[in-house]
C-alpha cells in the first residue's frame, strides 16, 4: 500500500515485482552515472580555457563514444528481456481466476469451482468503517492462496479497462472480445490494492481492486463457505 509523499515503488509482494525493482535500481544507476559524466564535461567546458584541437579529430575518441553507448544499451536490454520472458511464462497454475471488467465494477469467477463467482463494487465513502481506505475498499475481495501460482484471465464486457496491482507487478489490459492472461504468486499474506489503469468513462476512478492473500488452509475454508 502506498503512503503519502512516497517517492519509490510499493514493497514487492511477488518474485516478478522484486525483479522489476532490481531492474529499476540497475537502470537508474546507469542513468545517474551518465548524467553525472555529462554534467561534469559541461561544467569542465564552461570553466576551463584549455582546448585540445587534436582531440576533436581523434579516431580513438570517436570509437569510444560509439562503442560505449552500445555496451550500455546491451547492459540494459539483457535484464529487461529476461524479466519480459519471466512475466509471460506460465508454469502449470494451481488456480485460475477469470476477471471481467464492467462500467464500473469488476466481476470474478473461480473457474476451478462449479459455482464460485461474484461482483466487486467500490464501497461508497459514507458506508466506510473506521480504518478503511476511501476509494480503495470493495464489498467482495478477491481471496487467493499465497505461495501458489495463480493464473488470471482478464477481459471486458464493454470498454477498455486495465487490471493493475502495483505491489504484485501486475498490469494487464481488459479488452472486449479478447482474453488476456497473467500469472501471480504472492509471497506473504495481506491486503493488496489496485485500480483500473485505463480511462474507461466517468467512473473510471471508482473501480478498485483488492486482493486478500491468505495461507492455503484459510483459502480452502473460504472457498467452501462461498459455495
Asked whether residue 48 falls in the same domain as residue 110, the answer is no
Q: Which residues in 100-133 are b (16+ Cβ under 10 Å) and which e?
A: bbbebbbbbbbeeeeebeeebbbbeeeeeeeeee
Return the pLDDT at 118. Answer: 93
Asked whether residue 195 falls in the same domain as residue 117, the answer is yes
Q: Is residue 220 part of a domain?
A: yes
Asked whether residue 74 falls in the same domain as residue 137, the answer is no
Return the pLDDT at 72. Answer: 93
Cell numbers for 76: 540494459
Q: How many structural domains is the chain composed of? A: 2
User: What is the distance between the alpha carbons of residues 108 and 117, in angstroms, rounded to a whole number?
Assistant: 5
Asked whether residue 103 falls in the same domain as residue 151, the answer is yes
Nearest alpha-carbon partner for 72 in 32, 17, 16: 32
Structural domain including 141 reads 93-224
Identify the CATH number of the domain in which residue 61 sits: 1.10.287.90
Q: Is residue 214 part of a domain?
A: yes
| Predicted confidence pLDDT, tens digits, the chain (227 residues) | 778 888 888 889 999 999 999 999 999 999 999 999 999 988 988 888 766 666 666 777 788 888 999 999 999 999 999 999 988 887 788 999 999 999 889 999 999 998 899 999 999 999 999 988 999 999 999 999 999 999 999 999 989 999 999 999 999 999 999 999 999 999 999 999 999 999 988 888 899 999 999 999 999 999 998 87
Q: Is residue 197 part of a domain?
A: yes
| pTM score of the predicted model | 0.84
Q: Is residue 38 part of a domain?
A: yes
Contact (CB, 8 A) for 24 and 31:
no
Asked whether residue 127 falls in the same domain as residue 192, the answer is yes
Return the pLDDT at 41. Answer: 86
User: What is the distance between the alpha carbons of residues 18 and 5, in angstroms, rounded to a whole number?
Assistant: 22
Q: Is residue 81 part of a domain?
A: yes
Amino acid at each position: 500500500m502506498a503512503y503519502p509523499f512516497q517517492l519509490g515503488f510499493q514493497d514487492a509482494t511477488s518474485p516478478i515485482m522484486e525483479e522489476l525493482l532490481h531492474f529499476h535500481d540497475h537502470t537508474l544507476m546507469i542513468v545517474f552515472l551518465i548524467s553525472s559524466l555529462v554534467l561534469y564535461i559541461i561544467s569542465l567546458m564552461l570553466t576551463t580555457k584549455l582546448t585540445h584541437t587534436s582531440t576533436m579529430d581523434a579516431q580513438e575518441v570517436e570509437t569510444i563514444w560509439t562503442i560505449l553507448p552500445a555496451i550500455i544499451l546491451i547492459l540494459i536490454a539483457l535484464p529487461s528481456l529476461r524479466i519480459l520472458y519471466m512475466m509471460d511464462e506460465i508454469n502449470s497454475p494451481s488456480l485460475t481466476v477469470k476477471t471481467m471488467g464492467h462500467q464500473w465494477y469488476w466481476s470474478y469467477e473461480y473457474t476451478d469451482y462449479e459455482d464460485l463467482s461474484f461482483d466487486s463494487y467500490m464501497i461508497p465513502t459514507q458506508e466506510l468503517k473506521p480504518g478503511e481506505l476511501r476509494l480503495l475498499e470493495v464489498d467482495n475481495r478477491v481471496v487467493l492462496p499465497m505461495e501458489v501460482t495463480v493464473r488470471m484471465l482478464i477481459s471486458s464486457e464493454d470498454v477498455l479497462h486495465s487490471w493493475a496491482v502495483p505491489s504484485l507487478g501486475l498490469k494487464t489490459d481488459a479488452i472486449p472480445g479478447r482474453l488476456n492472461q497473467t500469472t501471480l504468486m504472492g509471497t506473504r499474506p495481506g491486503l493488496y490494492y489496485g485500480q483500473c489503469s485505463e480511462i474507461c468513462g466517468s467512473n473510471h476512478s471508482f473501480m478498485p481492486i483488492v486482493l486478500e492473500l491468505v495461507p492455503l488452509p484459510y483459502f480452502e475454508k473460504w472457498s467452501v463457505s462461498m459455495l
